[in-house]
Amino acid sequence: MSNRVQLQPSGNEFEVSDGETILDAALEHGVSFPYGCQNGFCGVCKARIVSGEYEYQDKYNAQSLTEDELANNVVICCKAEARSDLVVEVHEVVGVEDIEVRTMPVKVSKIERLADDVIRLNLRQSEDESLQFLAGQYIEVILEGGHRRAFSIANAPHNSSEIELHLRLVSGGLFTPYVFNEMKEKEILRIEGPLGTFFLREDSDWDVVMVAGGTGFAPIKGMVEHMIELGMENPLKIYWGVRSEQDLYLNELATEWAATYENISYIPVLSDPGVIDQGWEGRTGFVHQAVVDDHSDLSAVDLYMAGPPIMVNAGKSAFNAIGLAEDHLYSDSFEVAGES
């Protein structure tokens, strides 16, 4: 059995099942609900029940709510469960200014080699803390001596129990060689985030073009998965530029998106195909040029770019020349000078 929750003032709606908290149901359906610890302690997820019945199955920190809030039907949504259809008043997260940047410990839960020089690193958050982020943002890993290394979050916000990173090996770097050669699962790291203004604009109904270079696919992956979770039907073209086919480290996933969803197209582009790519029948050249070749006018498009600075800079110039509006161009330039 389930109940319907309607949010004010946005009008967003979602179903909440028996035994499921309001917050869990909202996040499961991709709703940008504010939250912090998810344990009833911090009070970030508080909201006012305008109408309907609810109850608490677990205790929450009584100091999270004032007497006035209790009298005004304000609840802690990570502990409150619906017992009827609800109308809930809450300030939903719409931009980076709505999310607290936090420093927190995480545990390495999985180290997976995706290619010879790319590792997927999964970081599990503690039960007492949970990082809220927008699809496409990044975190910084804090190293000894105060050094920091930035990596994009590769998973979508609705799937936030772990943080997924894609790390490319940088020879002579301070952090990535350690990850590739020495790091063990269950190791504890300190991170800060979320950071950055590169995130999916969920309220746009424009066509979407996403351009990734190398491990710039990481934030693009998080954005695409979030679009799918939200049920966004905007026509979406994904361009992934790499040197050779072996660098398309999650090619099957991107191919599956295009095969499953009618609104999604996937165009991989090889810039430097070699002997091992002799059977390649797809696009070649620079990835930004592939976008230009496919579009004579980008004036009604939201365009997202993530990758090396040379790719991002070339793309900005080429795309502006065919009508892309500055305020609909979102980019994340991956600085990978040999210290990562």
Convert the pLDDT of each residue in 102-142 to its tens digit: 999 999 999 999 999 999 999 999 877 788 899 999 999 99
| CATH 3.10.20.30 in the chain, residue ranges | 2-92
> Residue 225: what pLDDT?
97
Displacement of CA 283 from its chain's centroid (Å): 27
- Outline where DSSP puts E strands in 77-132: 80-82, 86-89, 102-115, 118-125
Report helix, strand or coil for 275.
helix
Q: What is the pLDDT of residues 57-67, one digit of tens each?
A: 888 888 778 88
Side-chain-side CA neighbours of 46 within 13 Å: the count stands at: 17
Calpha distance 201→232 (Å, rounded): 11
Q: Into which CATH architecture does domain 97-195 fall?
A: Beta Barrel (2.40)
What is the number of other CB atoms lying within 10 angstroms of the CB of residue 48? 14
Nearest to 28 by CA among 49, 10, 51, 5: 5
**Candidate ranges 51-60, 217-226, 276-285; pick with highest mean pLDDT:** 217-226
Q: Is the pLDDT of residue 44 over 90?
A: no
**Is it the case that residue 337 has pLDDT exceeding 60?**
no
pLDDT at 197 (0 to 100): 85
Q: How far apart are CA 253 and CA 149, in angstroms?
A: 27
Among 101, 124, 106, which Cα is nearest to 190's? 106
292 φ, ψ (degrees, to nearest 5): -60, -40
- Residue 160 vs residue 298, higher pLDDT: 298
The pair of structure tokens assigned to 147 is 């050094």
**Residue range(s) of every CATH 2.40.30.10 domain in the chain:** 97-195
CATH code given to domain 2-92: 3.10.20.30
Q: Is residue 78 scored above 80 in pLDDT?
A: yes
In terms of Cβ atoms closer than 10 Å to its own Cβ (0-12, 13-18, 19+), residue 325 is: middle
pLDDT grade for 338, boundaries at 50, 70 and 90:
very low
Is 68 in contact with 93 (CB distance < 8 Å)?
Answer: no
Round the average pLDDT of the chain to a whole number and report it: 91
pLDDT at position 304 is 97
Range(s) for CATH 3.40.50.80 in the chain? 207-333
pLDDT at residue 42 is higher than 80: no
Ramachandran bin of 57, using left for φ above 0, alpha for ψ from -120 to 50, beta for the remaining angles: alpha
**Percentage of the chain exceeding pLDDT 70:** 97
- Per-residue pLDDT at 339 exceeds 80: no
Could you tell me the CA-to-CA distances from 280 to 215, 220, 251, 284 in Å, in that order?
21, 24, 13, 9
Q: What architecture is the 207-333 domain classified under in CATH? A: 3-Layer(aba) Sandwich (3.40)
Angle between helices 251-260 and 217-230 (to 10 degrees): 30
Length of the chain in residues, anyone? 340
> Is the pLDDT reported for residue 248 higher than 90?
yes
pLDDT in tens, 260-278: 999 999 999 999 887 677 8
Which 8-state DSSP code applies to residue 334? -
